[in-house]
């Protein structure tokens, strides 16, 4: 589906995160070294150039191979944030340097990448953009190197004290799906889930439990295969079951095709998807463009805010045309930017490399624990991290798509479990 990627059988993560298995084959790979569209990260800046010891940040991504996700632009967006920071003097006089590792979705490679970043490159933090982070989560925790975003939907993000998410975590997905459907006027919920992984089916029971608890019964469920020629049969069955809201727990391509097929049958339910699947192409897809809702871990990329304006200006400067790519510029890719903001706030709060000293991971950790209700310039739910405890974030933004126009039903106010 996207980088809602780890499997938690019989839990909120079990259904949607398994969908990555269905998404892999159609994803586009990216280079393991993002190339800037500018001549240099400080081009055109009058700020003093950072001259201190580089602040090394590692990123492990599944940017290529059969498990590549819809977040292939994550490295570029994070690099654009770095370019902007360095063009403004760096952090405490130190330039930020990204060391990118592409594990190709291979567990052994991912572990090796983590060990290299920590043991040889001496990074002060790691950005998590991989599908197999559980393979090295305990290692980096033992090394006291914090993992800061950008994917928020892996199991370690809400169970491991060394992981610091920048937005809603996967444990709150099912409540947020039910909440979105109910707020949009749904009186019951249907589920279309991927046929490619058993974990997708294992999510049915917990979703029904949450629906029952929150007053929106899940009364229909059916499999969908990404390779199916059409989904007419599922549409007709959902219509006959009088389903008012339909959760398509699969990749955006499948959700779009479902909506097209249902529209052809004269069936127009409220569509619900995970917000990390938001992409521009949805706004022109028959059926889904007229009535779509869902939860988003961070404020959606299409919203209007000073922080998003700054991000857009940076992306247009360093990677011209990136935001116009309707298939790769997605909500999950955008999450790299608030991840960078979280690192920056932690670095400042922890005095990272202040007074000319070499930057350390311990300073970043201290800074993270010093943050209280940080909203990352309005791009995230309030973030507070407690020492020695896991860091689930059970708040989200509600998004909508009506008549081809994306919106925010609750504005910039977050909803919490």
pLDDT tens for 106-128 read: 999 999 999 999 999 999 999 99
What's residue 183's pLDDT? 95
Across 331-349, average pLDDT: 96
Q: How far apart are CA 24 and CA 20, in angstroms?
A: 6
pLDDT band at 154 (very low <50, low <70, confident <90, very high): confident
Q: How far apart are CA 271 and CA 411, in angstroms?
A: 20
pLDDT band at 24 (very low <50, low <70, confident <90, very high): very low
Q: How far apart are CA 146 and CA 3, in angstroms?
A: 20
Q: How far apart are CA 275 and CA 401, in angstroms?
A: 11
The rounded mean pLDDT for the chain is 87
Q: Where are the chain's structural domains?
A: 12-168+302-394, 172-299+398-416
CB atoms within 10 A of CB 153: 30
Q: Which residue has the higher pLDDT, 260 or 33?
A: 260
Q: What are phi and psi of 130, to 5 degrees?
A: -120, 160
Task: Evaluate if residue 138 carries a pLDDT over 70.
Answer: yes
pTM attached to this predicted model: 0.88
The closest of 391, 352, 384 to 369, measured between CA atoms, is 384
Q: State whether CATH 3.40.50.2300 applies to domain 172-299+398-416.
A: yes
Q: Do the domains 172-299+398-416 and 12-168+302-394 match in fold?
A: yes
12-168+302-394 CATH, one of 3.40.30.10, 3.40.50.2300, 3.40.50.920, 1.10.150.120 = 3.40.50.2300
Task: Evaluate if residue 20 carries a pLDDT over 80.
Answer: no
What's residue 35's pLDDT? 52
Among 39-43, 71-75, 100-104, 397-401, the minimum mean pLDDT is found in: 39-43
358 CB-side CA count, 13 A: 6
- Which residue, chain included where needed, has tokens 């305990």? 138
Strands 163-164 and 125-129: unpaired
**Which residues, other chains included, contact 324 with Cβ-Cβ below 8 Å and sequence gap of 6+?**
none
């Amino acid at each position: 589906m996207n980088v809602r990627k780890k499997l938690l059988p019989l839990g909120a993560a079990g259904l949607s995160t398994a969908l990555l298995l269905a998404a892999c084959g159609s994803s586009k790979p990216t280079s393991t070294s993002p190339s800037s569209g500018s001549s240099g990260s400080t081009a055109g800046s009058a700020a003093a150039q950072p001259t201190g010891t580089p602040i090394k940040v590692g990123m492990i991504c599944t940017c290529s191979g059969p498990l590549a996700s819809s977040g292939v632009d994550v490295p570029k967006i994070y690099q654009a944030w770095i370019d902007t920071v360095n063009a403004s003097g760096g952090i405490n006089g130190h330039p930020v340097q990204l060391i990118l590792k592409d594990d190709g979705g291979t567990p052994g490679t991912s572990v090796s990448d983590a060990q290299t970043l920590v043991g040889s490159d001496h990074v002060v933090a790691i950005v998590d953009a991989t599908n197999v982070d559980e393979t090295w989560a305990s290692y980096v925790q033992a090394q006291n190197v914090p993992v800061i975003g950008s994917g928020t939907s892996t199991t370690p993000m809400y169970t491991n004290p060394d992981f610091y998410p920048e937005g809603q975590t996967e444990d709150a997905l099912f409540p947020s799906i039910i909440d979105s459907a109910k707020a949009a006027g749904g009186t019951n919920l249907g589920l279309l889930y991927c046929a490619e992984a058993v974990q997708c089916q294992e999510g049915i029971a917990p979703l029904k439990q949450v629906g029952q608890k929150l007053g929106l019964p899940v009364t229909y469920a059916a499999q969908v295969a990404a390779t199916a020629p059409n989904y007419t049969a599922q549409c007709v069955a959902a219509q006959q079951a009088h389903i008012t809201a339909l959760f398509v727990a699969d990749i955006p391509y499948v959700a779009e095709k479902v909506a097209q097929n249902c529209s052809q049958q004269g069936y127009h339910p409220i569509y619900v998807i995970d917000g990390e699947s938001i992409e521009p192409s949805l706004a022109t897809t028959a059926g889904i463009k007229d009535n779509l809702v869902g939860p988003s871990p961070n404020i959606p990329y299409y919203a209007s805010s000073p922080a998003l304006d700054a991000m857009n200006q940076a992306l247009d400067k360093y990677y011209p045309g990136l935001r116009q790519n309707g298939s790769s510029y997605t909500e999950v890719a955008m999450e790299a930017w608030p991840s960078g903001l979280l690192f920056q706030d932690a670095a400042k709060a922890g005095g990272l490399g202040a007074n000319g000293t070499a930057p350390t991971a311990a300073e970043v950790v201290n800074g993270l624990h010093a943050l209280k209700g940080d909203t990352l310039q309005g791009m995230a739910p309030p973030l507070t991290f407690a020492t020695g405890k896991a860091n689930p974030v059970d708040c989200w933004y509600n998004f909508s798509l009506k008549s081809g126009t994306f919106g925010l039903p609750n504005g910039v106010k977050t909803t919490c479990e």
